[in-house]
Amino acid sequence: MNNTFLKACRGEKVDYTPVWMMRQAGRYLPDYQRVRGTVTFLELCKNPELACEVTLQPVDILGVDAAILFSDILIPLEAMGLVLEFHEKRGPVFPDPVRTAAAVDRLRIPDPEADLAFVLNTIRLLRRELANKVPLIGFAGAPFTLATYLIEGGSSKFFFETKKMMYTAPELYCRLLDKITACTSRYLKAQAVAGAQALQIFDSWAGILGPDDFAQYALPYVQSIIADLRQVTDIPIIYFANNGATLLAQSKSSGADVLGLDWRIDIADAARQVGDAVALQGNLDPCALLLPREEMAARIKKILAGGRLARGHVCNLGHGILPETPPAQAKLFIDLVHELSAA
Ligand code: CP3
């Protein structure tokens, strides 16, 4: 098996730097568009055969060193009892945002084997289909990021309602976060039992918080999930706090084996900050996939050099690949990381 990715997560010696891309199964691939043309996004997430097919596409087409389960961070929130819609232009929408005690009380904590069986079945199917070709990453959203979607009712620019709940109804906020945390803990444990070989926690909106609010309202819930997972599994755990350069010192205490970096920080600088405690993942600007070969190569070389200062390095983009990216440029990125790191 190509276990370069798992080794790098653990800080073990590797022959080349492993690489995968956040959102690697997605709209930039015509093969994904073909499958997606036949079903809605939620139908795709809930159909293990199709979810398996699109998960495998970037492994086969691009030669990435890890597969990531095709699903969405919002899927378990639907299982908590909420209506979830995906709109072509607006993205995800919760028509009934969670802003009152009654709404928080109504949320149920799903039993993953019963309520999210399609995700676990996709994982089992993927492990069979992958046949140890590359490891499979499972994932979930971090409680704070999930809470923003529930409270705002979808994506947001200023997160006014979320911060309003934090500041004017902190007990309600904590009760909501406790419920999301319990749900996420169970969900990730179930993914590990079903066969996920690493887990990534996406904190896409952590960067909107100042350091004190991050310490009080976001990080403790991540720490609690990771501590819980450590009771049952020793697979690598990656924590990605998007726009989190100013939160790095705190993120180091998340308990994760690997910290994901967005592109706004120099990875060498990040490596100096975190020292030998954790491995790093990242962090090419997704738009840099549009650069001509030599310029892309120069940026990759700099990232690889910075990564060598860390305990371990998994190369990745600094956020999800954009739908506009030509697939040949994505392939160039993967090939360049392999070539330049093996040299
Ligand atoms: O990485 C992968 O390839 C695995 C699949 C995956 C998706 N979403 C598929 C998806 C993963 C890991 C996610 C995580 C996710 N989902 C995050 C965290 C990562 C990040 O980007 O910060 C967030 C915030 C979401 C919520 C979400 N899902 C939004 C805001 C949107 C709409 C915007 C967009 O990018 O389309 C989605 C939809 C979504 N999730 C798509 C895919 C492939 C596009 C759906 C389509 O085919 O129309």
89 pLDDT higher than 80: yes
Whole-angstrom CA distances from 77 to 57, 92, 187, 189 are: 27, 12, 11, 16
User: Which residue, 36, 43, 42, 159, is CA-closest to 92?
Assistant: 42
Consecutive H or E run containing 199: strand 198-203
Query: Tens digits of per-residue pLDDT, 4-25?
Result: 999 999 999 999 999 999 999 9
pLDDT tier at 252, thresholds 50, 70, 90: very high
Query: Tens digits of per-residue pLDDT, 276-334?
Result: 999 999 999 999 999 999 999 999 999 999 999 999 999 999 999 999 999 999 999 99
Distance CA 296, CA 21 (A): 15
222 pLDDT higher than 80: yes
pLDDT tier at 88, thresholds 50, 70, 90: confident
Query: Quick check: CB of 68 below 6 Å from ligand 1?
Result: yes
pLDDT attached to residue 165? 98
* Distance (Å) from CA 309 to ligand 1 centroid: 31
pTM passes above 0.85 = yes
* Distance (Å) from CA 332 to ligand 1 centroid: 23
Mean pLDDT of 47-76: 98
Going from N- to C-terminal start, the domains of the chain cover 4-342
* Distance (Å) from CA 129 to ligand 1 centroid: 23
Amino acid (1-letter code) at residue 295: E
**Hey, which CATH number is domain 4-342, 2.40.30.10, 3.40.630.30, 3.20.20.210, 3.40.50.300?**
3.20.20.210
Beta partners for residue 266, in sequence order: none
Query: Considering only CA atoms, which residue is closest to atom 4 of ligand 1?
Result: 70
Mutation choice for ligand 1 from 73, 74, 162, 319, CB with most ligand atoms inside 8 A: 73
Structure tokens at 228: 């819980």
Contacting residues for 306 by C-beta, under 8 A, at least 6 apart: 266, 267, 268, 269, 270, 271
The active-site residue, picked from 28, 32, 149, 217, is 149
32 pLDDT higher than 90: yes
pLDDT attached to residue 262? 98
Mean pLDDT of 111-121: 98
Task: Answer yes or no: 272 catalytic.
Answer: no
Task: Answer yes or no: 23 catalytic.
Answer: yes
* Distance (Å) from CA 320 to ligand 1 centroid: 8
343 pLDDT higher than 80: no
Query: Considering only CA atoms, which residue is closest to atom 3 of ligand 1?
Result: 23
Contact 251, 214 (CB under 8 A): no
